[in-house]
Structure 1
Amino acid sequence: MHTRTLAPIALALAALGGNALAQSSVTVYGRVDLSLAQQADAVDNKEVRNGSGSRLGFRGNEDLGDGLKAFFQLEHRFNADDGTQSTTRFWEGRSLVGLEGTFGRVWLGRDENPAYTYSQSVADPWGTDTVASNGSIVNGRIGTTRYSNTVNYRFAIAGFTAAAQVAEAEGNTPATGTGTKKPYSLGGSYANGPIVIGVGYENPAAEEDYWASINGSYDFGMVKVGAFFGTGHDGSDDKRQSWLVSATAPIGQGQLRASFGQLKNKDTDVILDRQVAIGYHYALSKRTTVYADVVHEGRDDIPDNYKKTGYDFGIKHNF
């Protein structure tokens, strides 16, 4: 993502702190993404909505010498359609600080969990954004994208990346069921040329829940194909399974995206989500994209007044 340096702030702080910021950098970044949309599996409601999470963020690092760096990141999420906060939490996206060196990367605060980063979101061609999101399929309606009050570690070498996260029970509500245990998550990936493989294991705050997943993709150049499988138990100890197949293909200055997947409660034999989606995202520049997506959803006992087909037409600008 393109960023620009906060030179005036850095210069002002340097004037106050002498040479303390000589090896430091701070950047501001963000995204505004809005679409005209009708969601699937929802009542008839054509609206202007966030296609993906509109955001404003700050990140920076300081070279401490001998290969050691300090870093931080703060990310605010907002609804670009009306300017309000997306949640009551101001730094909804991220709020973290840590150290990085030859030992890897260690940080504290609020952040994505590694199962989501390395196995769930990357398996979805839309990255769990827009009306075509496969979020409920890749997280089983069990996992949670982010946790607060976390301790994190990540290490990468020779194409392998491994990460772990543990959180306090405080401030982390399970997606299903009740419970107060400390959530934890593990994730990893291997990338070698056109091949990418990822795994994830997430144990949220409820007493019985967990979600394990594996994904893989192969890039043939003209098309990249992917597959995902997830299994686990919800907070009521019901077994859930999901699968997803996907494909993306570069066409002109854009990308064609397609997916088909399902989430099922294996104990009750109820389909919780089944959807097929297709979309095209066209890059007007390195920072600005226009897009259109169509998704058709079906599940057991979907209400008669709900739309089964959704769509969006949007524009996304990164800065």
Structure 2
Amino acid sequence: MCIKHVLSAVMLAAGAGLASAQSSVVLFGKIDSGYVNKIGTKTARGDKGLGEGAQSRFGLRGSENLGNGLSAFYWLENRFKSDTGELTTARFFQGQSILGLKGPWGTVTMGRDYIAGYVEVQMAPDPFIHTGVSSMVAFGNGNIGTVRNDGAISYKVESGPLSFVAQWARDTNPNSATLPGPLTAEHPVGASAWYQAGPLFLGYSYENPGGVHDVWHFAAMRAVLGPVTLSAGYGQGETNTQEERRSWVVGAHMPVGGGRLKVVYGDLRNTSASLPISRKMALGYNYNFSKRTFVYLNIARDRDATADRNGFDVGVQHNF
């Protein structure tokens, strides 16, 4: 009888171990296609033709329950052009390539990842979430910071409405068109913290992209007032050539007629010489066919672009 009890206990323990080790795999992504007339910059004119409002992508993500409150997870995300099928960069997994562990003590991730606070803080004031001709990414990072880092180690901890992330990265240029990328002068580092409670969001991010002098600070807020969501951000920092810069951005969005109406304005300038770099306004509308598919029309104008100051994109996006 004792042997039967022991065998039963072993089988139960083995079954519990198998249950805790179950893993999941999810295929996800989006395909975006439309007509795009980009805004020109001080170094290049905008192009016109079939393109994307938001970069098309596919990815794999999954997790495994390791028991005792511990889990392992990964995220692999590709970027490609829907009109040609080409990869957008030299990196196959341009979006993210991370492996992580999550437990009661927080989350640790390793690999190619977004900088600390990019998604949570720098993107917060932009109702266009940094996509298409209406993207406000330049106002979120001052054209000083980056979007992702190679070889990043990140630690995130959440406590109720408060969250904090710190990151250290390998000293390589994460936006290089060639691999391996050229070295940066220093290891990129960053940190961010934010507060999210009900309709109110407040956040702050710090980034040293890896140069000797470059640094960027950005603060953001977002508030839901009835059907309208209002947002704002303010940034200040220094380029590697010690040019002082400052940015601010305000935005709003609300549901209208089965879709979403969006508007945003941003100002980025060189405060060392009191010269504007970019003053951009954008207006857009998404109409939802379903939870996964919508059509969009966005128009934007940057009064400081040297060519093609007006831009627009119109197209369809399907998420899976």
Q: Same fold (TM over 0.5)?
A: yes
User: How do 1:241-260 residues align onto structure 2 when only pairs under 5 Å count?
Assistant: 241-260=246-265
Aligned residue for 2:123, secondary structure, equals: helix
**Alpha-carbon shift at residue 46 of structure 1 (Å):** 2.2
**Comparing 115-124 and 196-205, the one that deviates more:** 115-124
User: How do 1:122-133 residues align onto structure 2 when only pairs under 5 Å count?
Assistant: 122-133=124-135
Alignment partners' CA distance in 2, 1:194 and 1:170:
39
Matched, 1:151 2:150: no
Alignment partners' CA distance in 2, 1:158 and 1:295:
38
Greater CA radius of gyration, 1 or 2? Answer: 2
Which string of whole-angstrom CA distances, capped at 9 and with x for unpartnered residues, describes residues 214-258 of structure 1? 010111122111110000001101100000111111112211100
Alignment correspondent of 2:4 = none
Normalised TM-score (structure 1):
0.89
Distance change >3 Å, CA 259–CA 101, structure 1 → 2: same
In the alignment, is the contact (CA less than 8 A) between 2:124 and 2:222 conserved in 1? no
Unaligned runs of 5+ in 1: 1-17
**Alpha-carbon shift at residue 20 of structure 1 (Å):** 8.6
Aligned residue for 1:118, secondary structure, equals: helix
Unaligned runs of 5+ in 2: 1-16, 177-182
Alignment correspondent of 1:41 = 40
Aligned residue for 2:212, secondary structure, equals: coil
**Matched length:** 295
In the alignment, is the contact (CA less than 8 A) between 1:224 and 1:249 conserved in 2? yes
Alignment partners' CA distance in 2, 1:136 and 1:112:
16
Distance change >3 Å, CA 271–CA 316, structure 1 → 2: same
Match of 2:212 among 188, 207, 231: 207
Normalised TM-score (structure 2):
0.88
Amino acid at match of 1:307: D
Alignment correspondent of 2:316 = 315
Aligned residue for 1:138, secondary structure, equals: helix
User: How do 1:259-274 residues align onto structure 2 when only pairs under 5 Å count?
Assistant: 259-274=264-279
Seq. identity, %: 35
Alignment partners' CA distance in 1, 2:33 and 2:192:
31
Distance change >3 Å, CA 153–CA 82, structure 1 → 2: same
* Structure 1 segments (4+ residues) deviating >3 Å: 18-22, 42-45, 171-174
**Comparing 99-108 and 119-128, the one that deviates more:** 119-128
Which string of whole-angstrom CA distances, capped at 9 and with x for unpartnered residues, describes residues 55-97 of structure 1? 1100111111111001111111111110000101111011111
Alignment partners' CA distance in 2, 1:156 and 1:60:
21
Alignment correspondent of 1:224 = 229
Alignment partners' CA distance in 2, 1:94 and 1:172:
11
Aligned residue for 2:94, secondary structure, equals: coil
User: How do 1:286-297 residues align onto structure 2 when only pairs under 5 Å count?
Assistant: 286-297=291-302
Match of 1:108 among 85, 107, 110: 110
In the alignment, is the contact (CA less than 8 A) between 1:172 and 1:205 conserved in 2? no
Alignment partners' CA distance in 2, 1:48 and 1:183:
36
